[in-house]
Amino acid sequence: MGSLIEAAALDELLRLLKPKYRIYAPVRLPGKGRFSDTDLIGYAEINRSRDIVFNERSYFSPKEILFPVNQTLFYFTESQWREPETDDREILVFLRSCDLEAVKRLDQALLHNGPYPDSYYQEARAKVKFVLMECQEEFEGCFCASMGTNESRDYAFSIRPENGAYLCDVREDLEELFGRLGKPREHEPAFVREHKNPVRLPDNPEAFSEHPFWREYSERCIACGRCNVVCPTCSCFSLQDIFYDDNPKVGERRRVWAGCQIDGFADLAGGHSYRRDKGERMRYKVLHKIYHFKEHFGVNLCVGCGRCDYACPEYISFSRCVNKLAELEDSTKAEANRKLGDTSAAVEVKKDVK
């Protein structure tokens, strides 16, 4: 059902939803940017439509709503433990197509990855509905169309700002509210179809695992982990057992985001560490995002949101890396064909001699 809803009416709709839903959207957090006098576009609960930032990509992704940076799994004291209380309200998240597709990747990693689903994620996931923020054009360095994540339709309603009002395509149990507060208006959401810098995936990047190609990243990467924490599909975590200072008999177990570019990620007991080299970490990450995950789950992990490019302080571009791998594969194939051609030509020459 298409609907045109005025800003005031959308505010009223949000107000009516509030008792039942926690409503999250990308918002401008003034002065919270990394550099002084800059803002951060991040996710937070909203009350009004004008809080929603439509014209910029959020620096952090919405994954933190379903998969918090820090999550207490249980509290413990001596022989007893209990899980923390949770908020009963449902969750409404304003996000873009790539981020909505990213949630499906999180589902794979956290729900369908082994015999047991992650119950903490599962509980939050069951409560969430999505509002698709239309992308009428790409943001810098996006490549969702290259990854096939540009057109996600699993939304409760879609939204596009239009002359101070909003054009929506309403799909799920909110028709009544929209019928009351909006005006009927045929609307089909737009999706990004093309990119300035499209990304081409190599067929078998694993063939280049030992290639000197990765050494460049050993030099450039500083292992800060920004690419991991802004990524909507990174879902690695560590566990921390905290014993409270005042009474170490009481404490909690937390899970906390971890990132494969960050020092310590691949440390083992006894001091051994896999992938000390940053180029190897880059290889591990890139292959996981565009190759290995697909081998397990049939779909690539990377959704092409472009956040890692934007966040990297060393200007390392994930998409450029993937394209370079594809080019490397092309040139390797061409070289092989040329050699093959040489051989067959040589055979022909011999034939002639005969």
Q: Which residues bind another protein (CB under 8 A)?
A: 31-37, 40, 42, 59-60, 68-70, 224-226, 228-229, 238, 240, 242-243, 245, 254, 256-259, 262-264
Shorter beta-carbon distance to another protein: residue 114 or 248: 248
Asked if 213 and 294 touch (Cβ cutoff 8 Å), the reply is no
From the CB of 281, what's the least distance to another protein, in Å?
14
Exposed, middle or buried, 66 (CB in 10 Å: 0-12/13-18/19+)?
buried
Beta-bridge partner residues of 76 = 81, 251
From the CB of 26, what's the least distance to another protein, in Å?
14
From the CB of 119, what's the least distance to another protein, in Å?
21
Shorter beta-carbon distance to another protein: residue 59 or 121: 59
Shorter beta-carbon distance to another protein: residue 60 or 155: 60
Among candidate residues 142, 132, 185, the one with its CA nearest the CA of residue 163:
185
Half-sphere exposure of 2 (CA within 13 A, CB side): 8
Shorter beta-carbon distance to another protein: residue 12 or 263: 263
Shorter beta-carbon distance to another protein: residue 81 or 244: 244
CA 334 from centroid of its chain's CA atoms: 34
Q: How far apart are CA 98 and CA 135, in angstroms?
A: 10
Q: How many CB atoms lie within 10 A of CB 275?
A: 17
From the CB of 181, what's the least distance to another protein, in Å?
35
Q: How many CB atoms lie within 10 A of CB 294?
A: 15
Q: How far apart are CA 332 and CA 324, in angstroms?
A: 12
From the CB of 300, what's the least distance to another protein, in Å?
24
From the CB of 265, what's the least distance to another protein, in Å?
9
From the CB of 65, what's the least distance to another protein, in Å?
13
Shorter beta-carbon distance to another protein: residue 226 or 283: 226
From the CB of 63, what's the least distance to another protein, in Å?
12
Shorter beta-carbon distance to another protein: residue 69 or 346: 69
Shorter beta-carbon distance to another protein: residue 61 or 158: 61
What contacts 63, CB < 8 A, 6 or more positions away?
99, 102, 103, 106, 231, 232, 233, 234, 235
Q: For residue 312, give the amino acid letter.
A: C
Task: Compute φ and ψ for 334, nearest 5 degrees.
Answer: -60, -40
Task: Compute φ and ψ for 76, nearest 5 degrees.
Answer: -135, 150
Shorter beta-carbon distance to another protein: residue 198 or 264: 264
From the CB of 68, what's the least distance to another protein, in Å?
7
Task: Compute φ and ψ for 28, nearest 5 degrees.
Answer: -90, 120
Beta strands in the chain (DSSP E): 2-6, 21-29, 40-45, 70-77, 80-82, 90-95, 128-133, 157-162, 165-170, 183-184, 237-243, 250-257
